[in-house]
Amino acid sequence: MPTELEAVAAEAAGCTRCRLHQSRTQVVFGQGDPHADLMFVGEAPGFHEDRQGIPFVGPSGQLLNRLLEGIGLRRQDVYICNVVKSRPPQNRDPQPDEIAACRPWLDAQIRLVDPKVVVTLGNFAAKTLLETTTGITRLRGQTYPFQGRVLLPTYHPAAALHAQGRRTAGPSPLEAMEGDFRVLAELLAAQAPVEQDRPTEQLGLF
């Protein structure tokens, strides 16, 4: 019996709710632990993701892997998906009607994976989930309540890669992301049940 998430993924694989189905190679639904405490939501599949059917496998994905490793996590510990499940042609921005058409898939993923913490990568994911027009530069640097969870917005890895080698007045986007991942590690530690030594009285030994 497929799980509900697998059944939704199978249904999404044939999705024709927006024009992107005409140009995609395949739907890129999501990957990772179906019960992860931590979910990443990116923008849309790029060239490599469209070919392989897996989110964040290109250069952005390699940076995401490095950032995860930096806080002691592996890809298989988390769940990774995108706002839009089909690659926009030439990696153009997803259009509002495409984001709206794809939204039920994302909502199902959030409901079924049921993460404690959602990290949005870049402008589109943050704006979509926080239902705001405010851009990522102003949104990041704090957490937001989101459907009984915690949402942490950070830059898109592609933005950090793009800015590499350029001079910036403050911290570079990569440095900002590294800082956000340190906050993420603290958030996850705060969510995790702590194994404590209980006094023997409480163990009922007396």
Determine, following the binding rule CB under 6 A, whether residue 42 of this chain makes contact with ligand URA: yes
Least spacing, CB of residue 119 vs ligand URA, in Å: 12
Where residue 79 falls (left for φ over 0; alpha for ψ -120 to 50; beta otherwise) is beta
Residues 6 or more apart in contact with residue 206 via CB below 8 angstroms: 200
15, 31, 38, 45: which one binds ligand URA (CB under 6 A): 45
8, 12, 44, 78: which one binds ligand URA (CB under 6 A): 44
Determine, following the binding rule CB under 6 A, whether residue 30 of this chain makes contact with ligand URA: no
Name which of 77 and 191 has its Cβ closer to ligand URA: 77
Name which of 120 and 143 has its Cβ closer to ligand URA: 120
Q: Quick one: which of 147, 151, 178, 17 has its CA closest to 85?
A: 17
Name which of 56 and 105 has its Cβ closer to ligand URA: 56
Q: Quick one: which of 58, 50, 39, 47 has its CA closest to 158?
A: 58
Name which of 162 and 192 has its Cβ closer to ligand URA: 162
Measured CA to CA, the distance from residue 154 to residue 151 in angstroms comes to: 10
Least spacing, CB of residue 37 vs ligand URA, in Å: 20
Quick one: tokens of 45? 């599949």
Q: Of all residues in the chain, what percent are helix, strand and coil, respectively (each to 5)? A: 45, 15, 40
CB neighbours of residue 114 within 10 Å: 16
Determine, following the binding rule CB under 6 A, whether residue 153 of this chain makes contact with ligand URA: no
- 121 - beta bridge partners? 154
- 154 - beta bridge partners? 121
Stretch that binds ligand URA, among 10-18, 54-62, 67-75, 92-100 (CB under 6 A): 54-62
Name which of 82 and 128 has its Cβ closer to ligand URA: 82
Binding mask 55-94 for ligand URA (x = CB under 6 A): xx-x-x---------------------x------------
Quick one: tokens of 107? 């909502």
Where on the chain is the footprint of ligand URA (CB under 6 A)?
42-46, 49, 55-56, 58, 60, 82
